[in-house]
Structure 1
Amino acid sequence: MTQTCADSLIVLDFETTGLSPDMGDRAIEIGAVRLQKGEVVERFQGLMNPGKRVSRFIENYTGITNQMLSSAAPCEEVMHQFANFIGDSNLVAHNASFDKRFLDAELGRISQSYQGQFACSLLVSRRVYQQAPNHKLGSLVSYKNIQSEGQFHRALYDSEMTAKLWMAMVDDIASQMDTKEVPFSFIQKLAKTPKNKVEAVLSKVKG
């Protein structure tokens, strides 16, 4: 059965100690929302203690302090809960390659996996909103006049803003395709389409 973008999706975001789990970096916060038929129906948020101190840069960047993490549950405990939360739903993240690396690494530590497919809202936005000044999450939220009241670089807020951006993009794609339902697999394909061929791909589907 073809999964559409109206089916259950998990939009997620990690805050981390650094850029690469391969270099020993760990997750310090996971935030996610469940979208069903374009509506947020459930939220997940958890700080997690990575077992080491985070840098002053990360503290300033995220607002997550070592004191906050000292009383947080271990990564393993939070990730067990998150594995249950995502189930077999498809997954969306802004700059998904980053979040996927940490999801894979943290779930790998507890011998857990997931069945869903990933889509990257950053790559999709580069195809759909080619005239945007840049494709950072905060810039795209402003570009699309999406209501926002919160702090970027906290996981739950970033996942909520990504979800709103995702819904805006799906609506815009559906409008161009003159359809009510957009297959998730089509969004994945669009993310890999050369920018100069996006219009032709959308026109072909519409036709």
Structure 2
Amino acid sequence: MHERHRFWQRALRMLSLGVPREASSALFGQDHSWQQESWLRSLQKEKQHVIDWHDRLIDIPFVIIDLETTGFSPEQGDEILAMAAAKTVGGIVTDAYMTLVKPEKPIPEPISALTGIEAKDVMFAPPLAEALRTFVPFIAAGVLLGYHIGHDLAFLRHGLWRHYRQKWSGRFLDLQPMMTLIGHSCPTFDDALACYGIRCPRRHTADGDVEAMAKLWVILLDELRKRGIETLHDLYAALSRC
């Protein structure tokens, strides 16, 4: 197990430095598994997309993410139960991802009541270290989006550091300040959904919330365009003035 984690630690570090896959294979030897090779290849492919400040928002790949967790603090032992994401371009979903995650500790009853995730549901789910190997390549292709995304990033960063000693440094944007930018005070995701009459029948499920956020993002893209906010630079500049 320790050898496996050391492999992924080295792989992530090499890719973050831009070392080509062929070179990293030589460094790690030829005894790594097909799954390891596949993950290296997908990560390298995702990292090839370069996003420029002056790219139009409708042309930029945005990846909407949501994590269901057992609490609010990974440092205090709270864990990820589910991870979902949707790749979008111009507000159109082009691909989606979802996985349950097997926690190390029992799921608290209030969390099961909120999310619908029970012990039997995660019995055969991958542990976090394994789930990250498919989730990270999926979300690496664009700018991350989420409602109060700081919560999700805290758990993502904690998991990557704990299992692979790797930091997440990708770009991200929070949908909540965008609501404020266009004139709506919506402290919670439920407030934002109510503002536009967006239904979310599977609220507090990772993929259900991602689906609802994708609908919200389509609306926000149009609202931003109407206000002359068309590029990534425009959006960051406008948010900095809020």
Any idea what SS the aligned residue of 1:25 has?
Answer: coil
Q: Deviations over 1:74-132 (max 9, x none)?
A: 111111101111124110010011111111111223324545311000121122233x5
Partner of 1:139: 191
Equivalents in 2 of 1:88, 1:70: separation in Å? 30
Structure with the greater alpha carbon radius of gyration: 2
Tell me how large the CA RMSD over aligned residues is.
Answer: 1.9
Aligned partner (choices 88, 91, 116) of residue 144 of structure 2? 91
Q: Which amino acid aligns with 1:65?
A: E
Q: Residues 7-26 of structure 1: matches in 2 within 5 Å?
A: 7-26=60-79
Aligned partner (choices 168, 171, 174) of residue 117 of structure 1? 171
Structure-1-length-normalised TM-score: 0.83
% identical aligned pairs: 23
Q: Which amino acid aligns with 1:90?
A: V
Aligned partner (choices 189, 192, 206) of residue 155 of structure 1? 206
1:183 is aligned to 2:218:
no
Please state how far the C-alpha of 1:15 moved relative to its aligned partner.
Answer: 0.4
Indicate if the aligned counterparts of 1:17 and 1:26 stay in contact, CA closer than 8 A: yes
Equivalents in 1 of 2:124, 2:192: separation in Å? 34
Equivalents in 2 of 1:99, 1:9: separation in Å? 16
Aligned partner (choices 153, 169, 174) of residue 225 of structure 2? 174
Indicate if the aligned counterparts of 2:200 and 2:209 stay in contact, CA closer than 8 A: no
Q: Residues 69-108 of structure 1: matches in 2 within 5 Å?
A: 69-108=122-161
Q: Which amino acid aligns with 1:98?
A: H
Any idea what SS the aligned residue of 1:142 has?
Answer: helix
User: Would you say how many aligned residue pairs link Structure 1 and Structure 2?
Assistant: 188
1:46 is aligned to 2:46:
no
Equivalents in 2 of 1:149, 1:19: separation in Å? 22
Residues 54-63 or 113-122, more deviating: 113-122
Equivalents in 1 of 2:220, 2:235: separation in Å? 10
Partner of 2:56: 4
Q: Which amino acid aligns with 1:105?
A: H
Partner of 1:128: 182
Indicate if the aligned counterparts of 1:8 and 1:35 stay in contact, CA closer than 8 A: yes
Q: 1:26 to 1:161 in 2, by over 3 A?
A: same
Q: Which amino acid aligns with 1:27?
A: I
Any idea what SS the aligned residue of 1:49 has?
Answer: coil
Indicate if the aligned counterparts of 1:88 and 1:116 stay in contact, CA closer than 8 A: no
Structure-2-length-normalised TM-score: 0.71
Equivalents in 2 of 1:42, 1:98: separation in Å? 23
Please state how far the C-alpha of 1:64 moved relative to its aligned partner.
Answer: 0.8
List alignment gaps of at least 5 residues for structure 2: 1-51
